[in-house]
Amino acid sequence: MGDFNCIECQEDKTGEKNINFGSAMKTFKELKFEAGLIDLDFTGYKFTWCNNRHEDKRIMARLDRMYANGMWLSKYSSAIVYHLKRLASDHRPIMLDSRCNINPQNRERRSIFELYWLESEDIAQLIKENWGKNVNQREKIEYFMNCLGSLGKDLRLWSKNCFGSLEKRLKDTLVELEALETADEQGLATDAEIGNIQCLTNKAMTLNKQLHIKWWTKARTRWIEMNDKNTKYFHNRSKFKRKKNTITLITENGKDLSETSHIIQAFERWYMDLWKEDSIDQNLASWDDLKLLKWRKVPNDSHTSLTRMFFEQEVVDAMNSLGKGKAPGPDGYSLEFYLNF
């Protein structure tokens, strides 16, 4: 925590057109990644330093930060970093509140399909056998949605039996592998145990890959490719992402609300008031007024293009062009599910 005297990206600095990211910054980012350190972000002013000049010579940057690893995030998952007002110094003081108490509301799990399941050879056959099982609706959309819901239950049960806890399985495999390798070095291993070393090595590699995909998906860090295999970093990033997405305090009618239940109720009241009939602006133009306006007509060729039936290949091309590893849709299934099955 402190003044690192460097920026991490273009958005961390303003007022200077040509920003040069030197080798020191690249080295620092690589070390941060290898150590699994996460920038805790902040509440308050964006930039922590200013050169105190005027007009086109004025430069501001975010030079002061706090980084934390997974162990710290687990212990202080509700901590908040504040950027305070700058007075005598050209730097803003930053304050860490590690005592912030957040009671997260348990939410229904939205993700149904996990990307690391694709590493299993059984997944395709499982989906084929369970698709449409015990679903009798005739309407296509209703049938499709109910098939997804029914399949989700089967997939969860299969995952629990097939994968279990990836972390525990990997740890147990490595312990068993270490014991066999130690016995092999001491000349105490049997031929069967020596042959099992390679099997356990392959198993550990598979589990490690699945674990990496799991945490990469949860972190959804777009600027790092999946072949940068630092599961620790993605794990920490996922923890921080959950914390960052948590609303800790809102103000309603001048009153600060920090309890989770009070925050939820405030949101409900706000949207209920928003959509009440008497809250609609009476000055909005009526439908009759809108019909009096002179609208520009869409040219015939454009109209034909916009209203024609789309082709199946166009849908396939559009899906293939989308980014991978994104959050699932309302149905709980990610893009990869539809691309593979």
Helical residues (DSSP H) of the chain, grouped into ranges? 23-35, 70-75, 123-130, 140-162, 166-185, 191-219, 231-244, 260-274, 287-291, 300-307, 312-320, 335-340
pLDDT number for residue 226: 44
Q: State the pLDDT confidence band at 136, using cuts at 50, 70 and 90.
A: confident
Q: State the pLDDT confidence band at 240, using cuts at 50, 70 and 90.
A: low
Q: Is the pLDDT at 297 greater than 70, yes or no? A: yes
Nearest to 118, CA basis, from 3, 213, 19, 31: 213
Average pLDDT over residues 309-332: 82
Q: Which two tokens stand for residue 222?
A: 């777009």
Q: State the pLDDT confidence band at 9, using cuts at 50, 70 and 90.
A: confident
Within the chain, which residue ranges are assigned CATH 3.60.10.10?
2-97
Instruction: Dump pLDDT digits (tens) for 30-72.
Output: 787 777 787 887 888 888 888 888 878 888 888 888 888 777 8
Instruction: Dump pLDDT digits (tens) for 173-184.
Output: 888 888 888 888
> What is the 8-class DSSP label of residue 323?
P
Enter the CATH code of domain 2-97. 3.60.10.10
Average pLDDT over residues 157-179: 85
Is there a contact between 336 and 324 (Cβ–Cβ < 8 Å)? yes
Please indicate whether residue 105 or residue 185 has the higher confidence score (pLDDT). Answer: 185
On whether the pTM is more than 0.95, the answer is: no
Instruction: Supply φ then ψ for residue 286, to 5 degrees.
Output: -80, 170
How far is residue 312 CA from its own chain's centroid? Answer: 30
Q: Is the pLDDT at 317 greater than 50, yes or no? A: yes
Instruction: Dump pLDDT digits (tens) for 76-87.
Output: 777 888 888 777
Termini Cα distance of the chain: 47
Q: State the pLDDT confidence band at 227, using cuts at 50, 70 and 90.
A: very low
Q: State the pLDDT confidence band at 224, using cuts at 50, 70 and 90.
A: very low
